[in-house]
């Protein structure tokens, strides 16, 4: 094993940048941050020993400026977090070429899992079950009869997708064979506009699947293990909102089969580091490879909590050449209790539309079984340019029932004033019979009844009136509104809208 | 201790009956007066005291029972955490000014969320059909298409591509 | 098992009141708080669904007013926390007599362990090793020859104590046989002044003992188990500062022997609920019963973290008649990883003198492996009338080494401005070779070198100058100083000095 | 942006050499001037910028490297979190006024901590011997005895039992 890095540049923002900085400090490694000029008030800067200005524009995606910052700060390693450049093979190569340690899988592994169609083909070869579908071969769309035959074989509905797509973009649901050809054309048009083209294919659409993923970890000595599953079925707009482990949908046999398949998937691309293999679990209990995320996952903390391990520490050690911890390899790890992650988004809780503004008060829940990974605090400005994830609440308890009750307590305890959040949605999910029974699928949020809410209690009206009739405190005036592009240093609030 | 009356309104209206487009139905408005030892809510007297710390209200005592709350104010809006939930209130406008605010943009399409104008797909004066996408807003990695509510002609288009738009402001006008 | 209570009155303040309220909420039980009039700005009130004013003076010790508050609030149970009335048998009896559920051991158990000499005698009978010493029998002090014989037998130094004493009061160290008689007389005088008399005795004084305690739990069906140990050797002024579990001083054999002795101790007083048996572990590895705390212990969270259990929940369930959880009885519980608690006190870090004032900024550490049980927040006023404990930082990790590194990170991350704390002492303990080696005793803090600290970095001087030259924000004026006894309601800050 | 000079002092003095009784040795005092793009520390120019949010300083950029800090001010004192540690500073008094403050109570005993007077064991005019306990302070469950530093007679005793006493104020005077 090479020595550990001395100074890691964290090429990210928000909660994940803070979370990585914490582990770096615990390992005696200096965490260095970066920020876009328009994001100079960003909360993650507080977690760093120092941070560097990347300049204007979408700077977190600018690999050149990030490498320049790493050089300027004397960093010897880069952790990309998730999103931004984390699954960009060219960036990973540039980091290595610059003589820095890349804390992530090899660029080859990233590329092999980057294209959905290529990944599907590779998984089929490796014996991993994939979602039934077409293979997107170049002439496919022209061969109407062949397509129709395949679609009929698996049954409708199907989902048309772009191989290079993501985040639900360009996906079209098709219920009848007559509409298939047109949907393929439409997705091709969208893909050309949004991702510069690429192939288009279709998959069987499961109406009420669960989304269950398996954490995998490989080292440079060729060991690959799985670290159990996370159930990510609670979604809105194809994005995860609540995750839990263990999955209430798995029994030991299925858990073992999925773990084995995930390890096979990772082995097929010679995976080193932390990765996640996502599966759809259909209503009949069969699982199908969906994709592999070649990076740290947002919801990794629930795995850390139930297993009592530290994934970011392992990422850094393994990037430096260490072997997987012995306990991960000898089968002695097993989940204890239950963990749930709830994502607090800045958005309307039931319409899912983004919300912006200044956070006037921010008080996190705490106490037994509570972990909060936050990317904002009191005074933070939530703008339109970045992901709406404000913080993750991670709850652990000895049983699923106790974890749900604890999560519900923590959501009630969380004080976030000034920007609307999805807190009421989180409460509604936890209160729902579907979630409590454990028998739910990806349609849980869509099928939730909007909770009946009475009027605020008298105390809330009286508090509101009392606050509104008092003279406004000086410290609360004039902030939270957009400013011109003046120098954020030495002005009253450092924030300005993203450039 | 002053005991001025404030007319305040719950943002979003009554939970089960949101504020209607014309701004009348579903509104939750109360007249509140807070004194030293009692409050008056829509004429109903409630023995109540308010505990303030650091400029925020942190407890309301009603009939001897002290309930924790937390307020934060920004100009005419106030956010209240109470009973494990958060509410937003604002000083209620007179009904007439509210009606004016709503009618002023009768022909206009309001932005449903804050964001940046990612694409402008039409120009002023263009003929459009119902459902046609006029522009695309983007915020926090999410795109939102603004569509024409009817056949017509594009009136004013106040924003350019790349502009920052707040929620609830007119982003396009469709003339008959 | 009777039904669970519906509404618990929490007869305490500070972090423990908040901690109990959290569990109550998770169990669907309404937490009701109380406060002294002079403590109306107390932080714990925020955790309650409602709280009641007990009136002026040392109200948290006034059992009559607390019972009256419970009646007024419609509470059906009382949890005393620790300190205050928690080990007051008369209060426990009054609670039961009022028809309320007492969440604690029986008054008889409390009484049997309340007098030190009686407890020592009882433990000797039960076969539990006690610290060697005299038996405090009435004629003892007069029988000079007999005393001298006993003292010579066990060897000097010895510690003279009052049976009814606590917190180190009246304890006198004696190094020579010639001083023994006078020390006994002096302690008797102090005991008469401070505790209204009571018997006086002496024990062997171990120069460098460890203080290791065992968590025990009994149910009303007669089951008693131990829940492993906590090492509480890091002390100042006879009060604990840092605790950890597992104890680095125990091997499996010793752990089992102490666990067994603790269960015997609890069985001897037919113990029901949560209790702690404290032992001294001498330099030769022998352990000696010191006392039993018949209540929830301050440092209970480290047991919760390593075992993945919830002690306050169990207290409530067992008070309602439930049996101990099966996993606690069948031997399947075992500690995972390592946990450390650090107590943040409002005091000079190296002189241990109290510090008071207003907390101008309070930001807790967070992230993986961090739990904070706090009794204050931004704006809280720390006065002279209550315990200086502000909050407990509870750190968990997979190994002792990782837990120490994590604790060090968390202490650095903690922002507490406005009131001096012992944060630097906590850092110095974690940084010390003695603590890191695990080979330390109760003299660790006394033998710490005061850390060499250079001057503040330039950035701190510049920040200070910049803050001092700006106009003072309106929200920071005029608070934090003592006020007259005006009505705290409707004044700018609700606090006033304790009446 | 003003660039006034402030003379500030570190509370407690240099870590290894605490402030002496007479208030001279061990003092850590600096002249600091903070400008828009640089600061001057005791005459040394440092390229530096200060980031302020919500009335607190949250970062100081020195030679292009931004370091997180956090300040909170109370009148002439300021608390600074920087590099994982907390410091307290105050506006430095002129040496003369400091000397006056120290000498004013030359015959007086200062309270070492805030607290309540739990017991007064002597009265004004009583003769006392060196080491005799004069009064007992109590704070946060801890008792602290104030003893006479020499043989003498009790001068003024400004507090009564039960009084609240701040740290550093005279609690008893012993006359020769």
Q: Residue B17 — pLDDT band, cuts 50, 70, 90?
A: low
Interface of A with B in 145-184 (CB under 8 A): 167
**Which chain A residues contact residue B74 at CB under 8 A?**
358, 360, 418, 476, 480
**Of A74, A107, A91, A89, the residue nearest A11 (C-alpha):** A91
Burial class (CB in 10 A: 0-12, 13-18, 19+), B31: middle
CB C374 within 8 A of CB C342: no
> Known catalytic residue: A295?
yes
pLDDT the model gives residue A477: 34
One of A295, A355, A358, A371 is an active-site residue; which one? A295
* A448 neighbors A426 (Cβ within 8 angstroms): no
Give the pair of three-digit tokens for residue D109. Answer: 């005993």
Is C125 within 8 Å of chain D by CB? Answer: no
Contact C186, C171 (CB under 8 A): no
Q: Which of D50, D82, D112 has the CB atom closest to C353's CB atom? A: D112
- The alpha carbon dihedral of A482, A484, A489, A491 has a sign of negative
pLDDT at B107 over 90: no
- Three-class HEC string of A352-404: CCECCEECCEEECCCCCCEEEEECCCCCCEECCCCCCEEEEEEEEECCHHHHH
Question: How many angstroms separate the CA of residue C408 from the nearest CA in chain A?
Answer: 8
Q: What is the mean pLDDT of chain D?
A: 83
Is the Cβ pair C310, A409 closer than 8 Å?
no
What global pTM score does this model have?
0.90
Q: Higher confidence at residue C90 or residue C450? A: C90
Asked if D62 is an interface residue toward chain A (Cβ–Cβ < 8 A), one would say no
CB-CB under 8 Å, A366 with C373: yes
Which of chain A's residues have a Cβ under 8 Å away from the Cβ of C296?
none
| Whether B55 contacts chain A with CB within 8 A | yes
Between chain A and chain B, the number of residue pairs with CB atoms below 8 A apart is 179
Q: How far is CA A119 from CA A172, A206, A282, in A?
A: 20, 20, 20
Establish if D32 touches chain A: CB-CB under 8 angstroms. Answer: no
Q: What is the pLDDT of residues A157-182, one digit of tens each?
A: 999 988 877 667 778 899 998 888 88
- Residue D34: is its pLDDT beyond 60? yes
Q: Does A477 touch chain D (CB under 8 A)?
A: no
CA C98 from chain center: how many Å? 28
Strands A7-10 and A77-79: parallel
pLDDT at A136: 75
CA C467 to chain centre: 38
Using CB atoms, which residue from A424, A459, A480 is nearest to B74? A480
pLDDT recorded at residue B26: 67
Using a CB-CB distance cutoff of 8 angstroms, which residues of chain D are in contact with residue A73?
Answer: 65
**Residues of C classed as catalytic:** 295
Q: C18, C360, C490: which to substitute to probe chain B, counting the most B Cβ within 10 Å?
A: C490
Model confidence at A402, pLDDT cuts 50, 70, 90, reads very high
Average pLDDT over residues C10-32: 98
The three-point CA angle C474-C475-C479 to 5° equals 110
Nearest CA in chain D to A49: D67
CA–CA distance, B116 with B145 (Å, rounded to integer): 12
Q: Which residues of chain D lie closer than 8 angstroms to A479, CB-CB?
A: 54
Taking only residues 85 to 144 of chain D, the set having a beta carbon closer than 8 angstroms to any beta carbon of chain C reads: 85-89, 91, 112-116, 138-142, 144
Please report all neighbours of A, defined by 3+ CB atom pairs within 8 A.
B, C, D
Dihedrals phi, psi of A120, to nearest 5 degrees = -60, -45
Are residues B68 and C45, on separate chains, in Cβ contact within 8 Å? yes
* Total Cβ atoms within 10 A of residue C405: 20
For residues C40-51, average pLDDT: 95
**Contact B/A (≥3 CB pairs under 8 Å):** yes
**Mean pLDDT, rounded, for C108-135:** 92
Pairs across B and C, CB distance < 8 A: 55
Rg (CA), chain C: 23
Please check the confidence at residue C483 and state whether its pLDDT lies above 70: no
Inter-chain CB proximity C360 and D67 less than 8 Å: no
Using the Cβ of D68 and the Cβ atoms of chain A, whether some distance falls under 8 Å is answered with: yes
Euclidean distance between CA atoms C109 and C123, whole angstroms: 13
Interface test with D, best of C425, C455, C466 (most D CBs within 10 A): C466
Which whole-number Å values give the CA distances from C263 to C130, C210, C226, C317, C333, in the listed order?
Answer: 14, 20, 6, 20, 16
Which member of B15, B140, B167 has the closest CB to residue A453? Answer: B15
Residue, of C151 and A47, whose pLDDT is higher: A47
> Is the pLDDT at A366 greater than 80, yes or no?
yes
Among A336, A372, A374, the residue with its CB nearest the CB of C308 is: A336
Name which of A23-27, A448-452, C19-23, D78-82 the model is least confident about: A448-452
Which one, of C474, C50, B52, B88, lies nearest residue A466 by Cα? B52
pLDDT confidence band for A231 (50 / 70 / 90): very high
To test the contact with chain A by mutation, choose from C306, C367, C391 the residue with the greatest count of A C-beta atoms within 10 A, namely C367
Q: What is the pLDDT of residues B134-146, one digit of tens each?
A: 998 888 877 888 8
Average pLDDT score over residue span C241-264: 98
Across the interface, of A25, A363, A474, the residue whose CB is closest to C409 is A25
Q: Who among C18, C313, C473 is closest to A474 (CB)?
A: C473
Phi then psi dihedrals of residue D152, to 5 deg: 170, -155
List CB contacts (< 8 A) between A402 and chain C: 26, 310, 313
- Collapsing DSSP to helix, strand or coil, A284 comes out as coil
Asked if the model's pLDDT at residue C137 lies above 80, the reply is: no
Say yes or no for a CB contact (<8 Å) between A370 and C371.
yes
Q: Nearest-CA neighbor of A258 among A321, A203, A210?
A: A210
**Residues A308, C373: C-beta atoms closer than 8 Å:** no
Distance CA D12, CA D18 (A): 6
* A25-64 per-position pLDDT tens digit: 999 999 999 999 999 999 999 999 999 999 998 999 999 9
Write down the pLDDT at residue A116.
Answer: 86
Out of C353, C384, C470, the one facing D116 most closely (by C-beta) is C384
Element (H, E) at D56: strand D56-62
- How far apart are the CA of B158 and the nearest CA of chain A, in angstroms? 18
Are D33 and C465 within 8 A, CB to CB?
yes
Phi, psi (5° rounding) for residue A131?
-60, 130
Please indicate whether residue C446 or residue A139 has the higher confidence score (pLDDT): C446
Q: Residue D168 pLDDT more than 80? A: yes
> Which of A257-261, A430-434, C431-435, D11-15 is predicted with the least confidence, judged by mean pLDDT?
D11-15
């Amino acid at each position: 094993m090479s020595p550990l890095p001395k100074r890691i540049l964290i090429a990210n923002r928000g909660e994940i940048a803070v979370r990585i900085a914490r582990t770096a400090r615990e390992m005696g490694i200096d965490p260095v941050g970066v920020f876009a000029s328009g994001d100079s008030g960003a909360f993650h800067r507080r977690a760093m020993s120092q941070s560097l200005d990347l300049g204007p524009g979408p700077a977190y995606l600018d690999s050149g400026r990030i490498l320049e910052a790493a050089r300027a700060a004397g960093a010897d390693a880069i952790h990309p977090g998730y999103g931004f450049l984390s699954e960009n093979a060219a960036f990973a190569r540039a980091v290595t070429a610059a003589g820095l340690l890349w804390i992530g899988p090899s660029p080859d592994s990233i590329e092999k899992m980057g294209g959905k169609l290529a990944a599907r083909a590779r998984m089929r070869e490796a014996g991993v079950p994939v979602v039934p579908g077409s293979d997107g071969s170049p002439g496919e769309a022209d061969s109407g009869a062949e397509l129709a035959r395949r679609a009929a074989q698996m049954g409708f509905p199907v989902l048309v997708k772009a191989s290079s797509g993501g985040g639900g973009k360009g996906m079209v649901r098709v219920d009848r064979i007559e509409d298939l050809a047109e949907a393929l054309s439409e997705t091709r048009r969208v893909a050309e506009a949004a991702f510069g083209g690429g192939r288009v294919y279709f998959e069987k659409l499961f109406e009420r699947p669960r989304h269950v993923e398996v954490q995998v970890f490989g080292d440079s000595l060729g060991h690959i293990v799985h670290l159990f599953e996370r159930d990510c079925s609670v979604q809105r707009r194809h994005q995860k909102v609540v995750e839990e482990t263990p999955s209430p949908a798995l029994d030991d046999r299925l858990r073992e089969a999925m773990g084995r398949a995930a390890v096979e998937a990772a082995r097929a691309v010679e995976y080193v580091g932390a990765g996640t293999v996502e599966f759809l679990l259909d209503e009949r209990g069969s699982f199908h490879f969906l994709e592999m995320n070649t990076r740290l996952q947002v919801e990794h903390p629930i795995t850390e909590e139930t297993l009592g391990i530290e994934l970011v520490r392992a990422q850094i050690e393994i990037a430096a050449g260490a072997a997987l911890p012995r306990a991960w390899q000898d089968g002695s790890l097993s989940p204890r209790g239950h963990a749930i992650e709830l994502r607090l988004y800045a958005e309307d809780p039931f319409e899912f539309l983004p919300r912006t503004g200044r956070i006037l008060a921010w008080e996190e829940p705490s106490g037994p079984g509570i972990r909060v990974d936050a990317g904002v605090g009191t005074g933070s400005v939530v703008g339109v340019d970045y992901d709406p994830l404000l913080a993750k609440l991670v709850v652990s308890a000895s049983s699923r029932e106790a974890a749900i009750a604890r999560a519900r307590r923590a959501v009630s305890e969380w004080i976030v004033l000034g920007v609307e959040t999805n807190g009421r949605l989180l409460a509604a999910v936890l209160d729902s019979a579907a979630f409590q029974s454990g028998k739910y699928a990806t349609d849980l949020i869509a099928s939730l009844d909007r909770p009946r809410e009475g009027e605020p209690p008298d105390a809330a009206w009286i508090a509101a009136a009392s606050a509104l009739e008092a003279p406004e405190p000086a410290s609360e005036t004039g902030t939270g509104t957009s400013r011109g592009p003046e120098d954020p240093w030495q002005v009253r609030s450092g924030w300005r809208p993203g450039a | 201790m002053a005991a001025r009356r404030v007319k305040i309104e719950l943002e979003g209206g009554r939970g089960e009956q949101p504020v209607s487009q014309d701004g009348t139905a579903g509104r939750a408005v109360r007249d509140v007066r807070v004194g030293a030892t009692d409050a008056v809510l829509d004429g109903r007297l409630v023995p109540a005291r308010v505990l303030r710390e650091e400029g925020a209200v942190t407890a309301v005592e009603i009939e001897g029972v002290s309930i924790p709350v937390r307020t934060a104010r920004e100009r005419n809006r106030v956010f209240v955490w109470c009973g494990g939930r958060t509410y937003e209130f604002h000083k209620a406008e007179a009904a007439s000014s509210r009606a004016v605010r709503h009618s002023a943009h009768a022909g206009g399409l309001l932005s449903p969320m804050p964001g940046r104008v990612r694409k402008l797909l039409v120009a002023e004066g263009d003929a459009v059909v119902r459902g046609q996408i006029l522009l695309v807003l983007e915020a926090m990695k999410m795109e939102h298409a603004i569509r024409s509510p009817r056949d017509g002609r594009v009136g004013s288009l106040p924003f350019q591509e790349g502009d920052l738009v707040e929620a609830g402001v007119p982003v396009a006008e469709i003339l008959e």
